[in-house]
Structure 1
Amino acid sequence: MGGTKALPRLQLEMDVYGLLNISIVVGCRPLIASSEFDPGPLSGSQHLSSLVRSCVDDRGPSTKKSVASAMSPTLMATHAEIRELLDVQEAKLKYASSAAKEVESLFRWSHLRWMAARTRLFEHWRDLVDATIDGSTNNHLDLALCQATMLFERCIFEDMHSLEMRFQLTRLTYAMVVASLQGIKPEFDITQAATDTRKYDLLWIYSVGAWVEDSFSAALSPSDTMQYAFFANQFTKLAAQLSFVSIGTMAPPLCENYLYIPKHQDKPLQRLLGINRQKPLSFRVQPLERKVS
């Protein structure tokens, strides 16, 4: 009868959000394919593209300097989609009070595009989990990179704007990242990080986790937040080994090669870099456990 494309736009948006969240909570593959509702990249709409460019063009020319990374092409593509959505977030904030039709279109586009990116990310995660379960490969670093991306996008697009159930699913993802890191082979030795090609992948994962831990502190009780310091510990140790003392020198490679939002992440991470010159954190993490079916 026409499938999802025949549904009224509002019903489609609600159905997609609900079905995807069911998949995430249960841990199964998405119940609806992203191709059924993905509105496509922003470049497909000249009007929407120009609206967003007006908010981000003042960043100046890109000076990207690539760093060694084990990130898969699939995850790189998802990162590119999320970066586009982060640009759109800036435009949505700027034009939030506007009643212009193109602004409404931008909001509607961004919701479905976000759901499509999340669906593809979750599909990729299931592929990695299935490969791990059948023992065909040791891909714990791939898993950690994927899960850190899941952690990042849920925190920035959902938890920071939600008044209820904040960080419930984020804490589950947090625990999965910790578990994946503990399974990396060969083990990542922070004391030998300078010569390890995985160092920037781990630095980014630790930076995401440390930022999320800092976000927890504003939403969880003190007794809850005390158990979340695993990433802050790892971040401060690795940053010290790589001789980073300022976020000004650390942020560019993270921003240019991974996912990073200076206005949200600079302050808490700079605070941790300052701890390097004092004393290391001593908390121990006791992450939540989640069985993957």
Structure 2
Amino acid sequence: MAIHDNILIKIRDMKDSLTPVERMVAEYIIANTEEIPHLSIKSLAQLSKTSDASVLRFCKTLGYNGYRSFIVSISASLGSMDDDHKNSYTDIQPGDDLNVIVANISHNNIKSIDDTLSIIDKNEIARAVKVLRGSTRIVFFGIGASGLVCMDAEQKFSRINKLCHAYTDGHSQLTAATLLGKGEVAFFVSNSGDTVEILETLEIAKKNGATCIALTKYNKSELADKSNIVLSISTPELTIRSGAMGSRIAMLTVIDILFAGVASAEYQNVKKYLSKTHNILASKHRK
């Protein structure tokens, strides 16, 4: 499994939120990945019809100090890539055989998790776990499919006796954010990072001094820009047909990681809660 940073996945996911000139550099790199490690900054600038300064700006946007470290990262990513089929998502096609659907959906979900592991910032995960451990209350905010992820998070963190709640509609989110304060966590789930209701709620939560955590796709967005901690997921560029399937599975995985991180760090304190909640559920099954 690719648990190292994969710059090619980062470029693919970031592409649509870049400036027009940076996007020209990104598109040339995506179309000509194999040759990039052999190009000088001047050559890449000429071939992408941009300038040396634009290529350097592009490298900085992706988090690199200079062109050299960027090229080293590209080479490493190329070495980790398998054949094209394994690295491409497959969309829903009309009249697909069920066996094909089973294989494709499973592949897409596995790839979404794998790609997310290669772009998510491990330091941000550590920061999020620390903040969640120290919080007096966690409030999860998400609309639609993201709301389902929030409900899953509420269910998990409730099991270790964390005071938490998920709000999945615009009005209740605004009300809940108004009652937040210092020492509490506002956890925002939004694939796009541009959902209006979420951004309005974020402004209120920030004003009230809550720590804001964002779970969103690897992209430039207002949500990522304004949150204290950003947990990025990688999502496939598919059409309207498949909805939020890939992003949902990646988001649920990040929630599981955070839950396990908090539960593991506080194991001596929370094992009694885990055991109690397990036993009560097990007793229901026996009836």
| TM bin (shorter chain) | under 0.3
Higher gyration radius (CA): 2
Higher strand fraction: Structure 1 or Structure 2? 2
Q: TM-score, normalised by structure 1?
A: 0.25
